[in-house]
Amino acid sequence: MHNQLEQFASDNYSGICPQALEYMLKANEGSAPAYGNDEWTQKATDYFRELFEIDCEVFFAFNGTAANSLSLAALCQSYHSVICHETSHIETDECGAPEFASNGSKLLLAKGENGKLTAQAIESLVTKRTDIHYPKPKVISITQATEVGTLYSLDELAAIKETARKHNLKIHMDGARFANAVAAMNKTPAEISWKSGVDVLCFCGTKNGMALGEAIIFFNKALAEDFDYRCKQAGQLASKMRFISAPWLGLLETGAWLKNARHANQCAEYLENKLISIDGVEMMFPREANAVFAKLPEHTIKILKEKGWQFYTFIGVGGVRFVSSWNTTQSRIDELVNDIKDSI
Determine the interface stretch with its own copies among 102-110, 113-121, 160-168, 215-223 (rule: CB under 8 A): 102-110
Find out whether 52 and 191 touch, Cβ atoms under 8 Å. no
Over the window 299 to 338, marking each residue x when it contacts its own copies by CB under 8 A and - when it does not, the resulting string is: -----------x----------------x-----------
The amino acid that residue 168 corresponds to is N
Site pattern 244..273 for its own copies (x: CB under 8 A): ------------------------------
Applying CB under 8 A, among 43, 92, 223, 266 the residue interacting with its own copies is 92
Q: How far is the CB of 82 from its own copies (least distance, A)?
A: 11
Q: DSSP letters of 135-152?
A: PEEEEEEEESS-TTS---
Q: Are the CB atoms for 186 and 229 separated by under 8 Å?
A: no
Count each helix (H run) and each strand (E run) in the chain, helices first.
13, 11
Whether residue 172 contacts residue 200, with contact meaning beta carbons closer than 8 Å, is answered with: yes
Selected range binding its own copies among 90-98, 255-263, 270-278, 282-290, rule: CB under 8 A: 90-98
**Residues 183, 217, 238, 258: which binds its own copies (CB under 8 A)?**
238
Candidate ranges 16-24, 182-190, 258-266, 288-296; the one touching its own copies (CB under 8 A): 16-24
Report whether 1 contacts 20 (CB < 8 A). no
Nearer to its own copies, 86 or 156 (CB): 86
- Looking at 48, 72, 80, 216, which residue binds its own copies (CB under 8 A)? 80
Cα separation values, 330 from 17, 176, 266, 269, 300, Å? 17, 24, 10, 11, 21
Q: Which residues pair with 322 in a beta bridge?
A: 292
Q: Which of 57, 99, 174, 288 binds its own copies (CB under 8 A)?
A: 99
Question: For residue 115, what are the CA distances in angstroms to 49, 275, 299, 335?
Answer: 30, 21, 27, 29
Instruction: Please identify which residue in 130, 168, 186, 239 interacts with its own copies, judged by CB under 8 A.
Output: 239
AA identity, residue 56: C
* Separation of first and last alpha carbons in the chain: 20
Close Cβ partners of 176 (under 8 Å, ≥ 6 residues apart): 64, 89, 143, 202, 204, 207
Residue 93 binds to its own copies (criterion: CB under 8 A): yes
Q: Which of residues 148-187 bind its own copies (CB under 8 A)?
A: none
Name the minimum Å distance from CB 191 to its own copies.
Answer: 28
Q: Which of residues 202-221 bind its own copies (CB under 8 A)?
A: 206-207, 211-212
We find the least distance from the C-beta atom of residue 210 to its own copies, in angstroms, to be 8
- Helical H runs in 32-146? 39-51, 64-75, 89-92, 97-101, 119-128
- Determine the interface stretch with its own copies among 165-173, 225-233, 258-266, 282-290 (rule: CB under 8 A): 225-233
**Interface characters, 18-47, with its own copies (x: CB under 8 A):** ---x--xx-xxxxxxxxx------------
Contact 62, 213 (CB under 8 A): yes
Q: Which of 44, 70, 142, 202 binds its own copies (CB under 8 A)?
A: 70
- Give the total of residues touching its own copies (CB under 8 A): 76
